[in-house]
Amino acid sequence: DIQMTQTPSTLSASVGDRVTITCRASQSISRWLAWYQQKPGEAPKLLIYKASSLESEVPSRFSGSGSGTEFTLTISSLQPDDFATYYCQQYNTYPYTFGQGTKLEIK
């Protein structure tokens, strides 16, 4: 199985900060990577697909990059609504696998 490793596991930041979350795959997944946002008690929400394509109606402050084994999710200027847990997911190879999550907390 392809292992997805996210860093950091927890990130403390302030409104207005620029933050980056990294996701590494244990083998190449080309650009078949998605990012999801999940708030407590809610289902995940798709933010980014194919590594860098922004899902419809997702604010442009979210961006993704990378290919192969290393990927990043960047939030250019944190807003109060962005404090949540973020997951990456590879959908290149079965079984599809997720990273362990990055919890973005208010500093």
Question: Would you tell me which residues interact with another protein (CB under 8 A)?
Answer: 1, 32, 34, 36, 38, 42-46, 49, 55, 87, 89-92, 94-101
When the beta carbons of 53 and 77 are compared against another protein, the nearer one is: 53
Closest approach of Cβ 38 to another protein, in Å? 8
DSSP for the chain, please give it.
---EEEE-SEEEE-TT--EEEEEEESS--TT-EEEEEE-TTS--EEEEETTTEEPTT--TTEEEEEETTEEEEEESS--GGG-SEEEEEE-SSSSPEE---EEEEE-
When the beta carbons of 67 and 76 are compared against another protein, the nearer one is: 67
Closest approach of Cβ 4 to another protein, in Å? 10
When the beta carbons of 7 and 77 are compared against another protein, the nearer one is: 7
